[in-house]
Structure 1
């Protein structure tokens, strides 16, 4: 058997093995896409190492038993894994909440997950993730081992699709999963039915087209109904703050909106709370738990408090219900339009229209500073566990810095530790709305890599530091008091803000604000003055045309004042999910900046264009354009001088290539002499042929003959590839 015959016999098997390997690599990509989301959930809530072991273990078991386990048995085992996981999750829910679970509630929760409820909002999110992870991983890998590739990606794709519907899978994670699924099907089909390199190039081109289309659609700008600024280069944070969403993501540079959002009739000023968040993700905040209908008076703080009654009137569309903390009663709206979060905030089920108003009665913590300072650590059940949560990936140096700060201040009680950390951040970091969104953990980056930030960065970092000290704390968004005009407070988008609440036993949640007050005031005044000078509409309510300083409230230690004296004068911080927090929800991609000040493309941009280049390369290979380009350059180059015989052979190869492209291909049985004489009568071609025959089959040639043949081919190439007779491609060959 000839070598060529043996090679052709073995090649299909080799290609099949290669296709199978690529199909499994694509399956790894698909598994990692949804597995990374589940891993992130457990990193935030707890159990990341166990999740990693679960993912790897499930895939390994599937590979081991894939050839010996029948399909029906594998499906049955998968159902057992899924049923057991659901049972474990059900048993992990606290007994007080388990009693509320009914078939109707389970159905509504399932629908909620499929319509945007983040997994991170589940009370036992880590248990849920660990419970559901083994089933899809095991079954998808088992089916791939059995070479049932389509059913394999149906299982894995369903898992990814669920996480896309919950909003937990990001754009690039989704794209990676889709490409992985397509790779499993494409290369799996080539594995089962055989394929060629040309088909591989076609698959790669299709994958790249999918990525480009998906990325283009996902990056298309969205519209929102909330108040926005004409300058779309950075988020205002107002819309997301007004919407009072279930999650907040810290972003980079923002702008302040001067438009009036609402007015408040109140005997005393306060921070107007719209949302509280308990679960820190490293890049933002999530409000865990579900909302309940408002059915009457709500529970107030456990300790001493004073009553504050406020009437809030919307001046624009509001997606939140601002109120002094803690709201205990709401009037003026139908109860069906009010929901209560598990953290105690109130929110509307429908947007409040301009002119609509409601009255809130709040119970504001009224403990003295001495009472707050001497409170111990006897926290209610669940408070410490829920409000000291941190991602497992949080760097240890954050805890070290927090311990150093509290030790330097001789702080022992929760209140003292909060006051020490608040003062440290307020004095060590500058206030600025122009910042670059850091990579990795926000609190860690702000502490050790950033010199300045706005309220979202300050509040996030303070909560994180407190939690490393075992002090229950949470992230709060809302508005600072606003401008006082004729007995009411005019609150603008630039008053949106983020701050911190710390739980003090027997007193309740106490407000702290680590963001420097004076720079916030300056930012607000400058932005409002600029808007007034331009004549922007909606920046003033009736009788609020002239700026009037807001009096600083007297510290009382409750939520109505800053315990350590931080000035709560209305300012325009925009941060995540807020105005000062103006960054929540309106996230924009930030560009990295090099040391020389030149803007560098983001990681996502580099990855996108890398994929595009791969597609271009596959297209060039598929069409043969790259090979033809290389050969065209080779044809026109004389090449280095070697021995005369080798130069003569190279000259003839160039001549034969030129004639094959412009006349006709050489037939398999045709000799060089017969081919040249049949397609051209040019004397130079005959000389090149004669020189080639002497070099190849005779006694050899001298240098002069080799140079003459090389020069003759050069002349023919120049004449035959002039614009009047363009060089032909493969598609222009003549028989």
Structure 2
């Protein structure tokens, strides 16, 4: 094709390439990748601070650190900035350690053990004063990662940012999607950085985009950690289900709220006890919005623990394991265990018992508990003068908890004329029992669990009931915590109870001054027991001080739990029915269309959307790399001619036909006139006709709409007759 006719097309292609290179320059892409890496390890910290306080201070610290790194990158060399970054880390950790309670600092082996545990999977959320830890830890990796990237030390930036991200991967505090985004950021920082430093074309940029997209696709198909428990990653989640027991009893340090769930009718253990009880296995104090975490460390059992301060009764239990069990059930509050298991027993920071390893069938142990005795009248008279350590630990809620949860709780209080914390707890318990149905088949909400269950769900199971009640109580500054274990089970003999997996349960403990932790169970007992029956028919020092308050749990007669025999019965303080809107003015979320028929797909999250964009960008880059986009563009250009003005229309028709002839015959050589070219290739009559129209338009100036229509029609006919698969 001659320069005269083909020039404009070639210049437009060159301009497009220059535009691509300008917008997606390796330098800009390297810094964008670094920003993605920064997001991947600051986002978990933001979420952690949101659980315990206001994240605005954290965002300010990140912004100031980025500004500092940007400013110093212009005036300070790397060997000067590195000590600054390390100094920020040392200073931050020193400030955090200095602020820890004296009893924790004194136990240096405990601190060292926590550090090792973090690297072995202990969630950062279990640390005390986690907000201060996040603020102390953040500046160093943020400063060094961004500074090194601005100084074009891309490998160093990737190493620092990757190490910070790896820390949260090891602790389990970063989601798979966010971790993958961070990995993509690290690869992009190094890859695009090398292109920027050592040169490269837009084709090299396209190759990097293809590599990043391939990483996403491969991760969708395989586990993130080979041999681990993670499921293959998918952009839109998975539909795996679990048992209630698996989600509660075996969770140890952390409980995540599940969706639809099942029951196991396998017999777990039998208990010989003079009194029935809920067999408690653990408690959790820190609510994350979508689950629970137990803060603090676990210590070795070192002898008898302190019991309740007031009147109590001794309950001795002998537990025989029937199937493998990674828990140590006992009535609250345990004060001692038998010699046979003493050396392999640990005590949690909330006073529960844990075995060093799972029990096997045939194993047995004895445990002595002291159950307090307190009449409901005493609970009603109790004040709200809570110890500061109790109030700060057990009234905390994520900053993102919607205000409407507190509003609804106050409505329930007013309807029940509840004036004391105990009466408020009874009112909330009765409200949830009455207003919510029991079902194991539920969709896990995307947002804050308690808010979703209270306003947008009609049914749920024990985890939802207990989580919602604790959250509602905490909105009124009433200390409460989430507790797991087993209900009493089936009585199979005099003082003998058989407990199955389906007896696993979650309930609530509320702190009452001068009494201790009082047990409440908002899950409706009748529907729960009916579901269980259907399943069966179908097939350092005195560790008593480790707990915040050694007073034990009192079980009021209104709960389905066993009652304290020495406490008089009182009528159930059921609040009057209150008329409340579904969402208190908020927009109710739905996954169905207006007709109520076909479920609509859930929109992807921000992280999922980002990965989708990476895959799309890689797909486009791969298509360009293989020439597919050029071929697709040329196919459209050849077969479809939009109309402009007569002169442009004739010229475009001429170029289309000449392109077809170049493919079928040969290109027109430089200096070869159209007439010479047509004679050389023995062109047919239609081609000669179009060339004559082009000559009239170009040299005679006869460019009319009629002539243009004729030229385009001839070109369309030639293209349809001659074109096959395009190269």
Q: TM-score, with normalisation over the residues of structure 1? A: 0.84
SS at match of 2:297: coil
Q: Which residue of 2 aligns with 1:515?
A: 523
Deviation of the 1:132 alpha carbon? 0.5
Q: Which residue of 2 aligns with 1:478?
A: 485
Q: Which residue of 1 aligns with 2:22?
A: 15
Deviation of the 1:566 alpha carbon? 4.0
Q: Which residue of 2 aligns with 1:545?
A: none
Kept in 2, the 8 Å contact 1:244–1:320? The answer is no
1:30-78: per-residue Cα shift (whole Å, max 9, x none)? 1111111011111112241111111111111111221101212211111
Kept in 2, the 8 Å contact 1:270–1:560? The answer is no
Kept in 1, the 8 Å contact 2:20–2:202? The answer is no
Deviation of the 1:224 alpha carbon? 7.3
2:591 matches 1:613: no
Q: Which residue of 2 aligns with 1:587?
A: none
Q: Which residue of 1 aligns with 2:143?
A: 138
Distance, in Å, in 1 between the alignment partners of 2:694 and 2:215 is: 51
SS at match of 1:370: helix
Deviation of the 1:504 alpha carbon? 1.6
SS at match of 2:242: coil
Q: Which residue of 2 aligns with 1:537?
A: none
Kept in 1, the 8 Å contact 2:333–2:552? The answer is no
Q: Which residue of 2 aligns with 1:305?
A: 312
Kept in 2, the 8 Å contact 1:645–1:700? The answer is no
1:200-235: per-residue Cα shift (whole Å, max 9, x none)? 22222211111122233248998879xxxxx98522
Deviation of the 1:664 alpha carbon? 4.4
Q: Which residue of 1 aligns with 2:725?
A: 727
Distance, in Å, in 1 between the alignment partners of 2:503 and 2:719 is: 75
CA 1:181–1:666 in 2, change beyond 3 Å: closer, same or farther?
A: farther
Distance, in Å, in 2 between the alignment partners of 1:310 and 1:518 is: 27
Aligned ranges 1:402-421 → 2 under 5 Å: 402-421=409-428
CA 1:713–1:558 in 2, change beyond 3 Å: closer, same or farther?
A: same
Aligned ranges 1:626-705 → 2 under 5 Å: 626-637=629-640, 639=641, 645-665=647-667, 672=674, 677-679=679-681, 681-700=683-702
Distance, in Å, in 1 between the alignment partners of 2:227 and 2:602 is: 21
Distance, in Å, in 1 between the alignment partners of 2:603 and 2:340 is: 47
SS at match of 1:347: strand
Deviation of the 1:244 alpha carbon? 4.2
2:124 matches 1:119: yes
Distance, in Å, in 2 between the alignment partners of 1:220 and 1:689 is: 66
SS at match of 2:255: strand
SS at match of 1:324: coil
With 621-630 and 676-685 compared, the bigger mean Cα shift is at 676-685
Deviation of the 1:97 alpha carbon? 1.3
With 10-19 and 336-345 compared, the bigger mean Cα shift is at 10-19
Q: Which residue of 2 aligns with 1:525?
A: 533
Kept in 2, the 8 Å contact 1:308–1:364? The answer is yes
Kept in 2, the 8 Å contact 1:512–1:563? The answer is no
Distance, in Å, in 1 between the alignment partners of 2:642 and 2:23 is: 41
With 269-278 and 712-721 compared, the bigger mean Cα shift is at 712-721
Structural RMSD (CA): 3.2
Distance, in Å, in 2 between the alignment partners of 1:268 and 1:294 is: 25
SS at match of 2:275: coil
Q: Which residue of 1 aligns with 2:430?
A: 423
SS at match of 2:327: coil
Distance, in Å, in 1 between the alignment partners of 2:386 and 2:655 is: 88
2:76 matches 1:74: no
Deviation of the 1:22 alpha carbon? 3.0
Aligned ranges 1:338-349 → 2 under 5 Å: 338-349=345-356
Kept in 2, the 8 Å contact 1:459–1:498? The answer is yes
CA 1:394–1:644 in 2, change beyond 3 Å: closer, same or farther?
A: closer
Kept in 1, the 8 Å contact 2:308–2:370? The answer is yes
Kept in 2, the 8 Å contact 1:16–1:192? The answer is no
Distance, in Å, in 1 between the alignment partners of 2:613 and 2:602 is: 12
Aligned ranges 1:282-681 → 2 under 5 Å: 282-331=289-338, 333-487=340-494, 488-531=496-539, 559=553, 561-566=555-560, 592-595=591-594, 596-604=596-604, 607=609, 609=612, 611-637=614-640, 639=641, 645-665=647-667, 672=674, 677-679=679-681, 681=683
Q: Which residue of 2 aligns with 1:586?
A: none
Deviation of the 1:656 alpha carbon? 1.5
Distance, in Å, in 1 between the alignment partners of 2:21 and 2:202 is: 12
Structure 1 segments unaligned to the other structure (5+ residues): 226-230, 532-556, 570-590, 730-735
CA 1:99–1:666 in 2, change beyond 3 Å: closer, same or farther?
A: farther
With 51-60 and 17-26 compared, the bigger mean Cα shift is at 17-26
Distance, in Å, in 1 between the alignment partners of 2:614 and 2:562 is: 49
Structure 2 residue corresponding to 1:173, chosen from 169, 178, 182 = 178
Distance, in Å, in 2 between the alignment partners of 1:178 and 1:668 is: 52
Deviation of the 1:303 alpha carbon? 2.4
Q: Which residue of 1 aligns with 2:190?
A: 185
CA 1:678–1:111 in 2, change beyond 3 Å: closer, same or farther?
A: farther
Kept in 2, the 8 Å contact 1:250–1:284? The answer is yes
Aligned ranges 1:190-209 → 2 under 5 Å: 190-209=195-214
Structure 2 segments unaligned to the other structure (5+ residues): 1-6, 231-237, 540-550, 564-589
SS at match of 1:382: helix
Deviation of the 1:412 alpha carbon? 3.2
Deviation of the 1:403 alpha carbon? 2.6
SS at match of 2:108: coil
1:183-202: per-residue Cα shift (whole Å, max 9, x none)? 22233333323433322222
2:33 matches 1:26: yes
2:271 matches 1:264: yes
Deviation of the 1:126 alpha carbon? 1.5
Deviation of the 1:502 alpha carbon? 1.0
Structure 2 residue corresponding to 1:48, chosen from 42, 49, 55 = 55
* Number of equivalenced pairs: 668
Structure 2 residue corresponding to 1:216, chosen from 212, 221, 235 = 221
Distance, in Å, in 2 between the alignment partners of 1:592 and 1:568 is: 41
1:111-148: per-residue Cα shift (whole Å, max 9, x none)? 21111010001112221111110000011111111121
With 639-648 and 395-404 compared, the bigger mean Cα shift is at 639-648
Distance, in Å, in 1 between the alignment partners of 2:500 and 2:682 is: 86
Distance, in Å, in 1 between the alignment partners of 2:177 and 2:229 is: 23
1:480-528: per-residue Cα shift (whole Å, max 9, x none)? 1111112321111111110001112222211000111111122112222
SS at match of 1:328: strand
Q: TM-score, with normalisation over the residues of structure 2? A: 0.85
Kept in 1, the 8 Å contact 2:317–2:366? The answer is yes
Q: Which residue of 2 aligns with 1:542?
A: none
CA 1:304–1:215 in 2, change beyond 3 Å: closer, same or farther?
A: farther
Distance, in Å, in 2 between the alignment partners of 1:333 and 1:663 is: 94
Q: Which residue of 2 aligns with 1:576?
A: none
SS at match of 1:295: coil
SS at match of 2:367: strand
Deviation of the 1:12 alpha carbon? 10
Kept in 1, the 8 Å contact 2:486–2:499? The answer is yes
Q: Which residue of 2 aligns with 1:548?
A: none
Distance, in Å, in 1 between the alignment partners of 2:597 and 2:355 is: 45
Distance, in Å, in 1 between the alignment partners of 2:213 and 2:76 is: 36
Kept in 2, the 8 Å contact 1:513–1:562? The answer is no
